[in-house]
Amino acid sequence: MQYQPSSSHAPSYAPMGSALIQVEHLSHTIITKKQNIPILHDISFVVPEASLFVINGPSGSGKSTLLNMLTGIDRPTSGRILFAGEEIRAKGEDQLAKWRGRHVGIVFQFFQLILTLSAQENVLLAMELGGCRLPRRTWRQHALSCLNTVGLGAFAKRLPSELSGGQQQRVAIARALANDPPVLIADEPTGNLDSQSAQAIFQIFVQLTSHGKTIIYVTHDPTLARRASSGIELSDGRIVQSLPGSMSGGMQ
């Protein structure tokens, strides 16, 4: 498996290893009629470009909420997120949807593939929804190239039901790469896989970072968490530990 960027002129958003994403004093509170429920408390950290950045912590620590903030699905109560110096929160909903389609690829624990579409068609759908800027006549070849990246070019015509769990997650990664985003965000991407498949998925992430992609992933697997180049650990919505490079206000 060898990742090949879709263009030799793919944009560089920051000097290699510098901060691509900056999270500054981020807090989030769910407000109901009866009570206010704080989820995240004054979180600050940076995600270096071309890094494997882990978000770790027990259930209920705020990991999923933080991922939703990073993808722009939810908005923080206070604080801000800068992507290559641009504040995400300042965008309107339509702008945010377009931004997300071009800048962030999302990988889910349970794959979320369209079961009636082939592997290649799942990637093509992501290209359509994400506003792919490649000439349409090249789309099918590009979708196949994304599948080749994860070692599944020979399975392009197969339905998800004809693939193993590890293969389905590879298709999900290919789908996340469809519009060549600089960042992939993966929520427990190996949580539903056996250890061998999990290692294979993680190796794809390592390969992608060597070609400039930034991978942000949540995992409960301590082995995979230790392989991150930077990251944070959350507990009760606060950073309690940070890895070198994340420059968090949490404990070192």
Q: Does residue 1 form part of some domain?
A: no
Average pLDDT over residues 12-17: 42
Question: Per-residue pLDDT tens for 206-248?
Answer: 999 999 999 999 988 888 888 999 999 999 999 999 877 665 4
In the chain, the percentage of residues whose pLDDT exceeds 90 is: 68
Q: Does residue 14 form part of some domain?
A: no
Other beta carbons within 10 angstroms of residue 157's beta carbon come to 10
List 136's β-bridge partners, or say none.
none
C-alpha gyration radius of the chain:
18
CA 87 to chain CA centroid, Å, is 18
Question: Per-residue pLDDT tens for 164-186?
Answer: 999 999 999 999 999 999 999 99
pLDDT band at 19 (very low <50, low <70, confident <90, very high): confident
Asked if 30 and 62 count as a contact pair (C-beta separation under 8 A), the reply is no
Question: Per-residue pLDDT tens for 113-158?
Answer: 999 999 999 999 999 998 899 999 999 999 999 999 999 999 999 9
Asked if 174 and 146 count as a contact pair (C-beta separation under 8 A), the reply is yes
Q: Does residue 6 form part of some domain?
A: no
Range of the domain at 170: 19-242
pLDDT band at 188 (very low <50, low <70, confident <90, very high): very high
Q: Does residue 7 form part of some domain?
A: no
Of 185, 25, 163, the residue nearest 100 (C-alpha): 185
* Average pLDDT value over all residues in the chain: 88
**Overall number of domains in the chain:** 1
Of 9, 52, 85, the residue nearest 213 (C-alpha): 52
Q: Does residue 50 form part of some domain?
A: yes
- The enclosing domain of 172 has a CATH number of 3.40.50.300
Average pLDDT over residues 2-30: 64
Q: Does residue 112 form part of some domain?
A: yes
In this predicted structure, what is the pLDDT of residue 49?
94
Q: Could you give phi then psi for residue 86, rounded to 5 degrees?
A: -105, 130
| Spatial distance between the Cα atoms of 241 and 56, rounded to a whole number of angstroms | 9
Q: Does residue 214 form part of some domain?
A: yes
Asked if 239 and 250 count as a contact pair (C-beta separation under 8 A), the reply is yes
**In this structure, what token pair is assigned to residue 144?**
């196949």
Average pLDDT over residues 82-102: 87
Q: Does residue 160 form part of some domain?
A: yes
In this predicted structure, what is the pLDDT of residue 109?
85
DSSP secondary structure, 124-155, as one string = HHHHHHTT--S-GGGHHHHHHHHHHHTT-GGG
